[in-house]
Amino acid sequence: MPADDATDFATSDATSDATDAEVDLVVARTRFGADGLVPAVAQQWDTREVLMLAWMDEAALRETLTTGRGVYYSRSRGGRWVKGDTSGHVQAVREVRLDCDGDTVLLLVEQAGGACHTGDRTCFDADRTVVSGGQE
């Protein structure tokens, strides 16, 4: 689970240039699962690190698009979760992409501080298994 317990980093001045019509179109094209959620992958826009995977309901996706902040639905807490509200490790969202069948969201973000609650930069830093040195 990504972090929201640290206390450093100021909140960002994220904004959104997306129009209401654009927001409606993205939401309409998104295929939420039976539980009303869609997986959302957050990627640092310049280094292309995969930071974390979280979940969005329609309200979270809409808020992300309209505010430019990474907003999710916390499955463990069962509600809205604005990334960085506690930790300050906010995500300023530059781009929202949907995959080819609309059931996955990719966010290109500027991540303040560590994305992970462990303090790591990404949630994928700690547990790595090398499969192949690159014989392909």
Asked if 15 touches its own copies (CB under 8 A), the answer is yes
* Residues of span 80-119 touching its own copies by CB under 8 A: 92-102, 104, 106, 110, 112, 116-118
Among 12, 57, 73, 84, binds its own copies (CB under 8 A): 12
Q: How far is the CB of 31 from its own copies (least distance, A)?
A: 11
Which helix (H) or strand (E) covers residue 22, if one does?
helix 20-29
Structure-token match 């949630």, residue found: 123
Count of residues near its own copies by CB under 8 A: 56
- DSSP state at residue 33: -
Q: How far is the CB of 100 from its own copies (least distance, A)?
A: 5
Q: How far is the CB of 70 from its own copies (least distance, A)?
A: 10
User: Residue 107, class by beta-carbon neighbours within 10 Å (0-12 exposed, 13-18 middle, 19+ buried)?
Assistant: buried
Output 8 or 29, the one with its CB closest to its own copies: 29
Q: Angle at the Cα of 37 (from 75 to 31), degrees rounded to 5?
A: 170
* Residues of span 25-84 touching its own copies by CB under 8 A: 26, 29, 39, 41, 43, 47-50, 52-53, 64-65, 68
Q: Rounded to whole angstroms, what are the CA distances from 36 to 17, 74, 127?
A: 26, 12, 30
Among 58, 113, 120, 121, binds its own copies (CB under 8 A): 120
Neighbouring CB atoms inside 10 A of 81's CB total 23
